[in-house]
């Protein structure tokens, strides 16, 4: 499968495809927080205002301690004003103000005045007999209510407008509920892939035991019981029952330690209890399986899906899976390909697999060159889309942003013309084409010989599932013979490129290039070259890829058409 671009959208199923855009979101979030802070301050002001008036009102009540009196006063007052029986207290605020505004205060005042005698006995007889008492009473019923409800109304209005502003202006940029679910699911996938401990995750710790004594990555944030329950449910929804039980068991443990069950989650209690029991049983069995595993892996064979997945997981976690004997046959060299030019500056080449060959070129690009590529690619980053055999679809197969740099004529079947095989790239890319030619000994610097440079950016959880680089229909100049992939960032955790059928795993390192052939020398697809980009656990992964096409390179092969001829790079 190959990747091209789709409409501008930040995420696919909620996984932040690009850390760049996560940055934008952080800025947006800051603005949002400022808006909400403003609202909060307004609401505090309004509340203070209301409180003050309430206090004034309460303190000026002649019989503030006499609950029965107050209540009957209220009921009668409202009942009479409305011409109905008493309304609930909350309604009274609105009723009063509405009537106040509709009928005009004087009308209202007259009506209240008429009621006073029968309603509020004051300390010195009738409250309304004393002009000051009457004045204050009416003030409480009119002015104070008015001020209070107005403050509330204003607040409600400004909340409403802020919300609609957020909804209208930034709706496309803000993550949605789907994205939240997707982010949770991506966390579950990483939990499974990297065997992350749930207990550690709750503490904000990403443990890296599996990859051999590497340091934990610690966040300042922790998860709450609510999150733990949510993640358990997310895992359950995507069918990861083992992982779901781990979250539920952890939730049960948190409850035991005194955490409060969030409201509305009471129904989950039985689930949590059974999860604890089942999880204990399962982890015992798993443990036994681990211990009794004696099968030696058979690399460089077409292992089945289960075994492929198993080695994908192990390689992504940074494990060495091949025998020490095999690893000992690998080597590195200063490559010159016998060329005087390269004598001056040989490639630092490392063989990761002998046959089929996979090689590394250390420090292929300088940090400055890497920056140039990223700078050129950034403005056009778009959600990656995968072209399958049948149709084009955006899937969980690949979660990353991609963009292309260099002349569009490169590798484009519709604009290819045999008469114009060469196209002027920028000086920078022309140099890079030539450098890749010197390293791979293949023809690259012609529009027929290679595709455009594809730059990809993976955010946290971003990944590329197992796939082959060959297989796109209608590739006029032949299949993708070779993949020349340059890492543009170092990645602290996760984000490796793995070949489970070869037992090869590579950790991204800024400026280092990875090169392999997808085809056998006779042009047939090599099914051993199944590979994946592991989910990024921590960091911001950038790569640039040049696919080198078959037809222009047939003559470069030393071998004939045997399906078994071995190639070395
Ligand atoms: O991201 C990676 O490490 C692998 C990328 C890849 O396989 C591809 O772009 O075809
Ligand atoms: Fe690939």
Mean pLDDT, rounded, of the chain: 77
Positions of CATH 2.60.120.620 in the chain: 321-556
User: What letter would DSSP give residue 144?
Assistant: I
Half-sphere exposure of 371 (CA within 13 A, CB side): 3
pLDDT exceeds cutoff 50 at 505:
yes
Q: 339 and 497 in contact (C-beta within 8 Å)?
A: no
Average pLDDT of the segment spanning 186-207: 90
pLDDT tens, position by position, 419-458: 444 556 778 999 999 999 999 999 999 888 999 999 999 8
Residue nearest to atom 8 of ligand 1 (CA): 469
Give 566's pLDDT tier (boundaries 50, 70, 90).
confident
Ligand 2 centroid, distance to 342 Cα (angstroms):
28
Positions of CATH 1.25.40.10 in the chain: 177-292
Length of the chain as a residue count = 569
Structure tokens at 354: 């002998």
pLDDT of residue 154: 77
- The Cα 214–Cα 313 span in angstroms is 17
pLDDT exceeds cutoff 50 at 181:
yes
Beta strands in 95-192 (DSSP E): 121-122, 125-126
- What residues line ligand 1, using a CB cutoff of 6 Å? 464, 469, 497, 531, 533, 543, 545
- Rounded to the nearest 10 degrees, the angle between the axes of helix 105-119 and helix 67-82 is 140
Give 293's pLDDT tier (boundaries 50, 70, 90).
low
Count of Cβ atoms closer than 10 Å to residue 125 Cβ: 10
Higher per-residue pLDDT: 522 or 387? 522
Task: Give me the percent of the chain exceeding a pLDDT of 90.
Answer: 35
pLDDT of residue 353: 96
pLDDT tens, position by position, 220-268: 889 999 999 999 999 999 899 999 999 999 999 999 999 999 988 888 9
Fold adopted by 177-292: 1.25.40
**Quick check: helix, strand or coil at residue 509?**
coil
pLDDT of residue 68: 45
Residue 514 CA: which ligand is closest? 1
pLDDT exceeds cutoff 90 at 488:
yes
pLDDT tens, position by position, 55-77: 766 666 554 444 445 555 555 44
According to the per-residue pLDDT averaged within each range, which of 97-101, 177-181, 341-345 is highest? Answer: 341-345
pLDDT of residue 545: 97
Task: Give me the percent of the chain exceeding a pLDDT of 70.
Answer: 68
Domain 321-556 has CATH 1.10.287.130: no
| Mutational pocket test of ligand 1: of 533, 539, 542, 546, the residue with most ligand atoms within 8 Å of the beta carbon | 533
pLDDT of residue 99: 46
- The Cα 530–Cα 484 span in angstroms is 15
Residue 349, Cβ density class (10 Å: 0-12 exposed, 13-18 middle, ≥19 buried): buried
Average pLDDT of the segment spanning 496-502: 96
Q: 548 and 450 in contact (C-beta within 8 Å)?
A: yes
pLDDT exceeds cutoff 90 at 528:
yes
Count of Cβ atoms closer than 10 Å to residue 522 Cβ: 14
Give 160's pLDDT tier (boundaries 50, 70, 90).
confident
**Quick check: helix, strand or coil at residue 344?**
helix
Structure tokens at 190: 């990483």
Structure tokens at 521: 């020398």
């Amino acid at each position: 499968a190959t990747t091209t671009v789709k409409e501008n959208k930040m995420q696919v199923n909620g996984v932040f495809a690009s850390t760049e855009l996560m940055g934008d979101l952080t800025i947006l979030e800051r603005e949002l927080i400022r808006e909400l802070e403003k609202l909060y301050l307004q609401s505090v002001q309004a509340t203070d205002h209301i409180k003050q008036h309430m206090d004034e009102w309460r303190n000026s009540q002649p019989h503030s301690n006499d609950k029965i009196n107050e209540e009957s006063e209220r009921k009668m007052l409202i009942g009479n004003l409305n011409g109905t029986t008493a309304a609930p207290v909350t309604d009274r605020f609105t009723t009063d103000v509405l009537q106040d505004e509709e009928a005009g205060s004087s009308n209202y005042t007259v009506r209240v005045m008429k009621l006073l005698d029968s309603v509020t006995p004051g300390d010195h007889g009738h409250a309304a007999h004393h002009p000051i008492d009457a004045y204050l009473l009416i003030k409480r019923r009119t002015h104070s209510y008015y001020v209070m409800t107005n403050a509330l109304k204003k607040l409600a209005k400004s909340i409403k407008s802020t919300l609609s502003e957020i909804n209208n202006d930034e709706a496309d940029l803000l993550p949605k509920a789907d994205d939240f679910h997707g982010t949770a699911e991506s966390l579950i996938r990483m939990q499974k892939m990297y065997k992350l401990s749930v207990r550690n995750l709750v503490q904000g710790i990403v443990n890296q035991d599996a990859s051999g004594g590497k340091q934990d990555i610690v966040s300042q944030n922790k998860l709450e019981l609510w999150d733990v329950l949510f993640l358990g449910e997310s895992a359950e929804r995507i069918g990861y029952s083992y992982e779901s039980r781990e979250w539920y068991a952890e939730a049960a443990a948190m409850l035991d330690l005194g955490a409060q069950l969030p409201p509305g989650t009471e129904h989950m209690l039985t689930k949590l209890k059974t999860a604890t029991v089942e999880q204990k049983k399962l982890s015992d069995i798993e443990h036994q399986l681990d211990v009794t595993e004696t099968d030696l892996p058979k690399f460089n064979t077409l292992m089945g899906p289960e075994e492929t997945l198993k080695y994908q997981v192990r390689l992504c976690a940074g494990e060495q899976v091949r025998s020490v004997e095999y690893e000992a046959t690998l080597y590195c060299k200063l490559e010159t390909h016998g060329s005087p030019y390269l004598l001056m500056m040989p490639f630092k080449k490392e063989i990761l697999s002998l046959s089929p060959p996979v090689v590394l070129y250390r420090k292929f690009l300088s940090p400055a060159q890497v920056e140039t590529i990223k700078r050129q690619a950034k403005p056009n980053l778009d959600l990656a889309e995968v072209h399958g055999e049948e149709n084009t679809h955006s899937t969980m197969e690949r979660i990353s942003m991609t963009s292309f740099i260099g002349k569009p004529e490169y590798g484009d079947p519709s604009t290819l013309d045999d008469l114009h095989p060469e196209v002027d790239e920028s000086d920078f890319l022309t140099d890079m084409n030539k450098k890749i030619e010197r390293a791979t000994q293949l023809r690259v610097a012609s529009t027929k010989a290679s595709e455009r440079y594809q730059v990809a950016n993976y955010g946290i959880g971003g990944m590329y599932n197992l796939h082959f680089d060959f297989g796109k229909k209608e590739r006029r100049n032949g299949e993708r013979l070779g993949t020349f992939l340059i890492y543009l960032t170092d990645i602290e955790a996760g984000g490796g490129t793995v070949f489970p059928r070869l037992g090869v795993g590579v950790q991204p390192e800024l400026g280092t290039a990875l090169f392999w052939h997808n085809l056998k020398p006779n042009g047939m697809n090599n099914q051993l070259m199944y590979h994946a980009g592991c989910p990024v656990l921590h960091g911001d992964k950038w790569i640039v890829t040049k696919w080198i096409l078959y037809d222009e390179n047939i003559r470069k092969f030393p071998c004939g058409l045997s399906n078994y001829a071995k190639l070395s790079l």
